[in-house]
Amino acid sequence: MTEAADTPVLRARGLRKEYGTGEGLVRAVDGVDLDVCAGETVAIMGPSGCGKSTLLHLLGGLDRPSAGEVSLNGRRIDDLSEKALARTRRTDVSYVFQSFHLMEELTAVENVELSALLAGRSPRAARRRAEELLEQLGLAGRARFLPSALSGGQRQRVAVARALSNEPLVVLADEPTGNLDSAATLDVLQLFEDLHESGQTLVIVTHDARVAATADRMFSMRDGALVDETRLTGGTTGRLGTLVGLGD
Amino acid sequence: MQQEVILALLAKEPSYGYQLRARLRDALGPLGDALNAGQIYVTLTRLEKAGLLAVERSAGGADRSDRKVYALTPAGQQRVAEWVAEVGWPRPDLAEFHLKLIAAASARLADPLAIVDTQRRELLRRLRDAQRAAMAEPAGSAAALLLEGVVLRLQADLRWLEACETNWTHRRSGS
C-alpha cells in the first residue's frame, strides 16, 4: 500500500465542542477520535441530543471545535482562515441534510450544478456533470422540475446529486432519511449502497438502524463521545434463515 | 421446516419432490439456502407414514423419494385446512435476554450495557445482510416480501435494545 492510501480521508483527534460556561457548560462533543478511510461508509448512531449533528458539523468545517484537530486528506482544517475554510467546504466536503435544503426557486438540475459551480467548474462542465448525476439517480426526466414538484424521496436524491457534483473527498449526511417514508428510505439506502460501490467516502449520522446497517463500521455515540465501534462487514447471511424459522 | 408447510405446498396439485423444492426456492429466495433437500424428503416420508400424504406413482417403480409424485390424502387436506385457519405467530425470546441483563447486573457478572452493545452489533450485522439481500431481489419478488419482514422485526428488536440501553443507563447512574 502507498503512503497516500494509508492516510485517512477524514481524521479527528481529541475533538471537543463546548457551549456555555460555568454551571451551564455543555460538552456537545467530548473527546472524539475518528479515522475514516477512502471509500469507507461510517455510520454514527445515538439518541437525539448525543452530539452527533454537532460532530458532523465539526468534521466538515461548518463549525469550529473548542479543542482538537480535524484533517482532510492529511491537511488540518480546524485552524484554517475563514476564507480557506470556506474554500475547503466548497471543494472537499458535501452535506446531505434531513430536510434536503434545496433552493426552492431553482430547478433540480440548477440545484445540482450549483455546488460544482461554487467549486470552480466551468458552467458547461457543471451542467454536464449535473445531468449525468441526475441520470444516474433516475431523475433525468425531472431535471427541469422545481423542488416543490418533486416527492420527498426525489428531493433527497437531488440533494445527494448536488452533494456529489463537486466531487467531494467525503459526503457527510445528517439523518438523510429522517423526513422520508419507508419506500423513499429504501431508495436512499440503495443510493448509498451505489455510492459505496463507486468508492465514495461517506459519513452518516442517523438514528435509523436501516441507514446505519448500510455502513462498513458503526459507532454508538452517547453524551458527546463515541462509546462502541462495530464492524458490520463480514456477514451472517447463512444464519438469516433462522430469523424466519428456517433451519436450526 | 414445519410439516404443515410441506403439506400446504402440495395442496395445489400432486407434485414431485423437486417441484416442491422449486416452489420453496421461489418463495424464500436467498433464505431458502438454509433448507436442505434431505430434510424435505425426510418430512415427506414422515407425512406419508402418518397417512397425510400418498405416493401417486413412482417413475420406473424406483423407491427413490425424488422420483415419486406426492398427493394429499383426505386427512392431509383436513390438516391443511385446520392449519390455514390457525392463528399462530413466532415468539421472539425476549424474556431470556431481559433476564440475562437482570442476572448480569445483580450478580455483577457483566455490565448490562456491554451486553446490549454486543447484542446490537449482532443485530445490525443481520440487518445489513437482510437489507442487502432484499435490495438484490427483483421488485415484487416473493422473497423480497419475506426479507422485508426480517428487516422490520430486526428494527423492532433494535428499538427495544435502545429502550434497554436507556433504562440500564438510568439504573446504573441511579445506584
Q: What angle do CA B145, B129, A198 make, to 5 degrees?
A: 105
Residue B12 has φ and ψ, to the nearest 5°, of -65, -50
Note the pLDDT of residue A200. 94
Share of chain A above pLDDT 90, in %: 69
Closest-CA residue of A relative to B93 is: A243
| pLDDT above 60 (res A211) | yes
Share of chain B above pLDDT 70, in %: 93
Residues 6+ away with beta carbon under 8 Å from A36 = A8, A9, A10, A11, A42, A170, A201, A203
Is A77 touching B (CB cutoff 8 A)? no
Three cell numbers at B31? 433464505
The model's confidence at residue A31, banded by pLDDT at 50, 70 and 90, is very high
**What is the residue type of B11?**
A
Closest-CA residue of A relative to B117 is: A228
Contact A238, B33 (CB under 8 A): yes
The model's confidence at residue B60, banded by pLDDT at 50, 70 and 90, is low
Once rounded to an integer, what is the mean pLDDT over residues B28-40? 82
Note the pLDDT of residue A248. 47
| pLDDT above 80 (res B90) | no
Closest-CA residue of B relative to A237 is: B129
Residues 6+ away with beta carbon under 8 Å from B170 = none
- The DSSP 8-state label assigned to residue B59 in this structure reads G
Once rounded to an integer, what is the mean pLDDT over residues B29-43? 83
Once rounded to an integer, what is the mean pLDDT over residues A173-190? 87
pLDDT mean across residues, chain A: 89
Note the pLDDT of residue A59. 96
Number of Cβ within a 10 Å radius of residue A107: 18
Quick check: A243 and B121 CB within 8 A? no
Residues 142-201 of A with CB under 8 A from B: 186, 189-190, 193
The residue among B73 and B68 whose pLDDT is bigger is B73
Q: How far apart are CA A216 and CA A42, in angstroms?
A: 6
The model's confidence at residue A67, banded by pLDDT at 50, 70 and 90, is very high
Contact A137, A157 (CB under 8 A): yes
Sign of CA dihedral B18, B24, B27, B28: negative
Q: How far is A82 from chain B (nearest CA, A)?
A: 40
**What is the residue type of A32?**
V
pLDDT (tens digit, 9 = 90+) per residue, A14-27?
999 999 888 888 89
The model's confidence at residue A50, banded by pLDDT at 50, 70 and 90, is confident
pLDDT mean across residues, chain B: 86
In Å, what is the CA distance from A239 to each residue of A122, B17, B73, B129? Answer: 51, 25, 35, 10
The residue among B91 and A101 whose pLDDT is bigger is A101
Q: How far is A181 from chain B (nearest CA, A)?
A: 14
Quick check: A189 and B131 CB within 8 A? yes
Note the pLDDT of residue A82. 93
Share of chain B above pLDDT 90, in %: 30
Q: Which residues of B touch A210 (CB under 8 A)?
A: 127, 131, 151, 155
Share of chain A above pLDDT 70, in %: 92
Instruction: Provide the total of helices (H) and of strands (E) in chain B, helices listed first.
Output: 7, 3
Once rounded to an integer, what is the mean pLDDT over residues B62-83? 83
Once rounded to an integer, what is the mean pLDDT over residues B138-142? 84
Query: Can you tell me which residue has the cell 475563514?
Result: A82
Note the pLDDT of residue A94. 95
Crossing angle for the helix pair A182-197 and B112-136, nearest 10 degrees? 90
Contact B44, B17 (CB under 8 A): yes
Note the pLDDT of residue A3. 46
Q: How far apart are CA B47 and CA B83, in angstroms?
A: 15
Q: How far is A110 from chain B (nearest CA, A)?
A: 30
Question: Which of A55, A41, A44, A28 minimizes the C-alpha distance to A207?
Answer: A44
pLDDT (tens digit, 9 = 90+) per residue, A85-109?
999 999 999 999 999 999 999 999 9
| pLDDT above 50 (res A2) | no
Question: Which of B120, B105, B32 minimizes the C-alpha distance to A213?
Answer: B120
pLDDT (tens digit, 9 = 90+) per residue, A223-240?
899 988 888 886 554 566
Note the pLDDT of residue B172. 76
Quick check: A243 and B127 CB within 8 A? no
The model's confidence at residue B26, banded by pLDDT at 50, 70 and 90, is confident
B41 alpha carbon, distance to own chain's centre: 18
Residues 6+ away with beta carbon under 8 Å from B42 = none
Q: How far apart are CA B145 and CA B130, in angstroms?
A: 11
Note the pLDDT of residue A187. 82
Q: How far apart are CA A183 and CA A122, in angstroms?
A: 36
Once rounded to an integer, what is the mean pLDDT over residues B98-121? 90
Q: Which residues of A touch B132 (CB under 8 A)?
A: 193
The model's confidence at residue A1, banded by pLDDT at 50, 70 and 90, is very low
This prediction has a pTM of: 0.81
Q: Which residues of A touch B34 (CB under 8 A)?
A: 238-242, 246-247
